[in-house]
Amino acid sequence: MKIRDIAWVLLLSISIVLGLDMLTNSIDTKKYAWDFVYYIAMAKDGFKAQSLASPFAYRYLTPLIVNGITKTSDLSIENGFLVIAYLGAILQLTGIFFFTNWLTKSRKGAWLAMLVTAFSLFNVKFLVFDIYRPDHLAYALILLQTYFAF
């Protein structure tokens, strides 16, 4: 695959993620209290904020990455989660394209798989709605593990 092709896939992935984010509202963390309360607390305070709440107990990698990002940069907690959300969505879409292209040897099929994933509800749109979810990097990592399994 040529560098130009890779650049097109990345550009389209970035454009889709940014476009979906512009068309998607954000979760109101003041009005609602979901699991993100635990993830934000861990991103702020690290393991000192650890709770025995079930979803929090096993999903600490993303909040700890955000903790590291905010400690080493001038980004806020919210922007740290947003960086992870964008990175995860872009990696997921480009990964879907490359994996499908590799598996099927069909560029059209790879574009179609990428677009279907991009416009499904939970793969990108929900993750830019609730940027505090710890699942952003999981989809890309599962895809990579699937590639290695083949």
pLDDT tens by residue, 66-116? 999 999 999 999 999 999 999 999 999 999 999 999 999 999 999 999 999
CB 112 within 8 A of CB 106: no
Q: Tokens in use for 138?
A: 């999981």
Judged against a pLDDT cut of 60, whether residue 52 lies above it is answered with: no
Is this model's pTM higher than 0.85 or not? yes
Q: Tokens in use for 145?
A: 């593990």
- When the pLDDT of each residue in the chain is averaged and rounded to a whole number, the result is 89
What are the helix and strand counts (H, E) for the chain?
A: 8, 0
What pLDDT score was predicted for residue 147?
Answer: 94
Number of domains in the chain: 1
The parent domain of residue 13 ranges over 3-149
Q: Measure CA 147 to chain center.
A: 18
Judged against a pLDDT cut of 70, whether residue 50 lies above it is answered with: no
pLDDT-derived band of residue 6, with 50, 70 and 90 as boundaries?
very high
